[in-house]
Amino acid sequence: QVQLVESGGGVVQPGRSLRLSCAASGFTFSRYGMHWVRQAPGKGLEWVAVISYDGTNKYYGDSVKGRFTVSRDNSKNTLYLQTNSLRAEDTAVYYCAKDVNYGFGYFDYWGQGTLVTVSS
Amino acid sequence: EIVMTQSPATLSVSPGERATLSCRASQSVDSDLAWYQHKPGQAPRLLIYDVSTRATGVPARFSGSGSGTEFTLAISSLQSEDFAVYYCQHYNNWPPLTFGGGTKVELK
């Protein structure tokens, strides 16, 4: 069965960095686009980034553009999100989500999420 | 950016009743519209894609309809496990992908 397991969250000071990981199993990881979606406390879902199946195409939401970088290692079935210059408003649960195909833009499986708290 | 607006924010329903949730897009998204169910502490779950196609394993009491800018998710007879937050999301002409603000279906 498909499993997505995020890790790497924690408490970090404003301006610092954190790298999130998402370990995938149960499907051919290298064939699918992958996304990051976040949910701030008490708020709704916000799309963060997408990476194509082969890592050549990457797109970001405006709120993280220039600060976050999505990447993947298909040999390790792992998705990453490098988060730099963190701000209080980046505090959220970060989910990785599998695209239904190479990049249709909706998600058939999600992880349980990892919490990032940006606070001094 | 396409803005997705959901209403109502909260819907109070008794078990066995019908629930109707609305989602409006700021411009046409054709049929590129999905619905998700999200319970606290759990991963969101895909319910509906392409406006009206149920995802694998989703009960028939969930149905989606609409086109262009106006969409509806209906739950025909609410079960206890259906109390959750529901989000619509477009995937037309992206990035960016955007979600509605969510509708919380709560016990009346």
Does A54 reach chain B within 8 Å, measured CB to CB? no
Residue A102 confidence (pLDDT)? 79
Which pLDDT tens digits describe chain A residue by residue (120 residues)? 999 999 999 999 999 999 999 999 999 999 999 999 999 999 999 999 999 999 999 999 999 999 999 999 999 999 999 999 999 999 999 999 999 987 889 999 999 999 999 999
Does B89 reach chain A within 8 Å, measured CB to CB? yes
Write out the two tokens for A71: 């990447």
Q: Rounded to a whole number, what is the distance in Å from the CA of B76 to chain A's nearest CA?
A: 23
B28-60 confidence digits (pLDDT tens): 999 999 999 999 999 999 999 999 999 999 999
Q: Rounded to a whole number, what is the distance in Å from the CA of A62 to chain B's nearest CA?
A: 8
Residue A55 confidence (pLDDT)? 96
Chain B positions in Cβ-Cβ contact with residue A44 (cut-off 8 Å):
87, 99-102
Residue B58 confidence (pLDDT)? 98
What is the interface size between A and B, counted as CB pairs within 8 Å?
Answer: 60
What secondary structure does DSSP assign to B1-31, as a single string?
---EEEE-SEEEE-TTS-EEEEEEESS--TT
Is B4 a residue whose pLDDT tops 90?
yes
Sign of CA dihedral A61, A115, A8, A26: negative
CA B84 – CA B102 distance, rounded (Å): 10
For residue B82, give the 3-state DSSP assignment.
helix
Contacts of A39 (CB under 8 A, 6+ apart): A45, A46, A92, A93, A95, A113
Residue B27 confidence (pLDDT)? 97
Residue B99 confidence (pLDDT)? 98
Residue B57 confidence (pLDDT)? 96
Give the single-character DSSP code of A42. T
